[in-house]
Amino acid sequence: MSYDLGASGAFTLTIGGRSVAGESTFGVVNPATGRVVAAAPDCTREQLDEAVAAARAAFPAWAALDIAERRRHLVSMADAVDAHTQDLATLIVLEQGKPRPVAVAEVAGLAMWLRRTAELEWEETVNQDDGERLSVTRRLPLGVVAAITPWNYPVGQASFKLGPALLAGNTVVLKPSAFTPLANLRLGEVWRDLLPAGVVNVVTGSGDLGSWVTGHPGFDKISFTGSTRTGRAVMANAAQRLARVTLELGGNDAAIVLPDVEVSEVAPQLFWAAFANSGQICLAAKRLYIHEDVYDDLARELVRLAEQVRVGDPSESEVDLGPVSNQRQYESVVSLLSDCRDHGYRFLTGGLPETGTAGLFVAPTLVDNPPDSSRIVREEQFGPVLPLLKYREVDEVVRRANASEYALGASVWTGDPVVGLELAKRLEAGTVWVNEVMHLDPLVPFGGRRQSGIGVESGLAGLLEFTELQTLSVRRSRG
């Protein structure tokens, strides 16, 4: 079955509820084949101005809507996503390279996130209400939000931003990654007639669109997910006019395996904790610390699993893992693998990919106990490579796990959840899981500490980041 969409320019921007063609287009490449599958519109500066103006014009009426109406809109957005699941999943498979069932789950996740977010409630705080004074602190929407997302979960990442921003009363300009614009452009089409014009706008571009957005004076808030390096540039740009920022950035999550685990039970969980979506998840396990008593057994089991999984083109056949998602990321992963090889670290399985193939395939790779100073331990691999690291003492592993500039997530694996919880409290990360990993919920905030970000997404705390406080104080007595 061929999914080739042709470079026909069938995708358009959504600006002010209208379909807007790009003055030019850029090619979107399928990472499994190296072929261009579609042309995406390259938004000009003028079109960005139009999108911001449309969002600005839509803001007062959207913010003034009864909250019950905005809740209904979120649910109808979710229904529309459900009705287009297969189409959206096909686009994700083609542009991002993940297996179809994973893409379908990603789309379902967007619908679920919109519905559950629609349930969030928040209240005014009455500070004082007596004969002397009425003082109330309330939450107001910020205005126009820029939602900038990465390529690993093209619609999943949008879900963390759209529901909360809209429910709080803001309007949005959504800018997906240039590597994965298609599913987001389709979302713009799907929602165009459902929402008041200008409430959600979708723009895509191959060049400097991201920095045009963060430097644009029309945005009140930049909600950004991506790399730490870009996050710093986003914050610097936003600082020029004190636009609010939420930054969800890189991670290098440690997973700590205690000696009391049942190896055969935890091995598959740890394998997928590291290799789901070919390791391209911010919250994937990226450093696996294994107690020396179970190191050899667990390593053997992980090798067995790695050698069983089917890696291939997700459009052509049933696979467990697709390619690395784009050329830039592929080169980054290959550079880390080359560094391992050059330093003589041992690959227990996998290793450097063959050169000269059209698809960006890398077999799941396990690196045998490289030093903590190695690049594969210090840097975020964001790909299908996992260092296995041997430890002896709990204090030692806590110190090593915490010795990272990143602090996004972490996990502890043990037969004793009580021991796990105590150890979890010693780990410095935004979320620490015990005997699971990457469990997210629309009602639970998540975010990174240190170089992993600023602020949180999801939950009430995530929604409140799309609001600002206002206190109203009324003097009642003249005494």
Residue 52 binds to ligand NAD (criterion: CB under 6 A): no
Contact segment (CB under 6 A) with ligand NAD among 77-85, 133-141, 220-228, 358-366 equals 220-228
Binds ligand NAD by CB under 6 A, chosen from 125, 211, 471, 473? 211
**Residue that the structure tokens 């999108």 belong to:** 51
Residue 227 binds to ligand NAD (criterion: CB under 6 A): yes
DSSP reduced 3-state for 267: helix
Tell the smallest beta-carbon distance from residue 429 to ligand NAD (Å).
Answer: 11
**Which of 59/151 has CB closer to ligand NAD?**
151
Counted residue by residue, the chain has a size of 479
Mark whether 465 is an active-site residue: no
**Which of 183/267 has CB closer to ligand NAD?**
183
Contacts made by residues 129-133, CB under 8 angstroms, sequence distance 24+: 130/476, 131/476, 131/477, 132/475, 132/476, 132/477, 132/479, 133/473, 133/474, 133/475, 133/476, 133/477
Residue 151 binds to ligand NAD (criterion: CB under 6 A): yes
DSSP reduced 3-state for 122: coil
C-alpha triplet 103, 107, 111: angle, nearest 5°: 165
Applying CB under 6 A, what is the total number of residues that bind ligand NAD?
28
**Which of 15/290 has CB closer to ligand NAD?**
15
Contact segment (CB under 6 A) with ligand NAD among 113-121, 188-196, 221-229, 460-468 equals 221-229
DSSP 8-state assignment for residue 96? H
Binds ligand NAD by CB under 6 A, chosen from 31, 41, 250, 364? 250
Query: Contacts with ligand NAD in 373-432 (CB under 6 A)?
Result: 380, 382, 408
**Which of 254/299 has CB closer to ligand NAD?**
254
Which residue out of 43, 282, 301, 465 is catalytically annotated? 282
- Whether residue 340 contacts residue 389, with contact meaning beta carbons closer than 8 Å, is answered with no
**Which of 175/291 has CB closer to ligand NAD?**
175
- Whether residue 134 contacts residue 473, with contact meaning beta carbons closer than 8 Å, is answered with yes
**Which of 230/278 has CB closer to ligand NAD?**
230
- Whether residue 173 contacts residue 220, with contact meaning beta carbons closer than 8 Å, is answered with no
Query: Contacts with ligand NAD in 161-180 (CB under 6 A)?
Result: 175-178
Tell the smallest beta-carbon distance from residue 277 to ligand NAD (Å).
Answer: 10
- Alpha-carbon gap, residue 170 to 164, rounded angstroms: 9
- Alpha-carbon gap, residue 202 to 290, rounded angstroms: 44
DSSP for 297-357 reads: HHHHHHHHHHHHS-BS-TTTS--SB---SSHHHHHHHHHHHHHHHHTTPEEEE--SPPSS-
**Which of 266/464 has CB closer to ligand NAD?**
464
Tell the smallest beta-carbon distance from residue 404 to ligand NAD (Å).
Answer: 13
Mark whether 379 is an active-site residue: no
Residue 152 binds to ligand NAD (criterion: CB under 6 A): yes
Which residue out of 95, 106, 248, 301 is catalytically annotated? 248
Look up residue 432 and give its amino acid.
Answer: V
Q: What angle, 0 to 180 degrees and rounded to 10, lies between the N-to-C axes of helices 67-83 and 156-167? A: 160
Q: Which of 277, 247, 250, 260 is nearest to 383 (CA)?
A: 277
DSSP reduced 3-state for 242: coil
Residue 233 binds to ligand NAD (criterion: CB under 6 A): yes
Tell the smallest beta-carbon distance from residue 51 to ligand NAD (Å).
Answer: 15
Residue closest to ligand NAD, measured at CB: 210
- Whether residue 12 contacts residue 21, with contact meaning beta carbons closer than 8 Å, is answered with yes
Tell the smallest beta-carbon distance from residue 50 to ligand NAD (Å).
Answer: 19
Residue 282 binds to ligand NAD (criterion: CB under 6 A): yes
For the chain, state the CA radius of gyration.
23
Binds ligand NAD by CB under 6 A, chosen from 31, 154, 188, 448? 448
Tell the smallest beta-carbon distance from residue 249 to ligand NAD (Å).
Answer: 5
Contact segment (CB under 6 A) with ligand NAD among 57-65, 107-115, 150-158, 385-393 equals 150-158
Active-site annotation, residues: 248, 282
Q: Where do contacts with ligand NAD occur on this chain (CB under 6 A)?
A: 148-152, 175-178, 210-211, 214, 225-227, 230, 233-234, 248-251, 282, 380, 382, 408, 448, 453
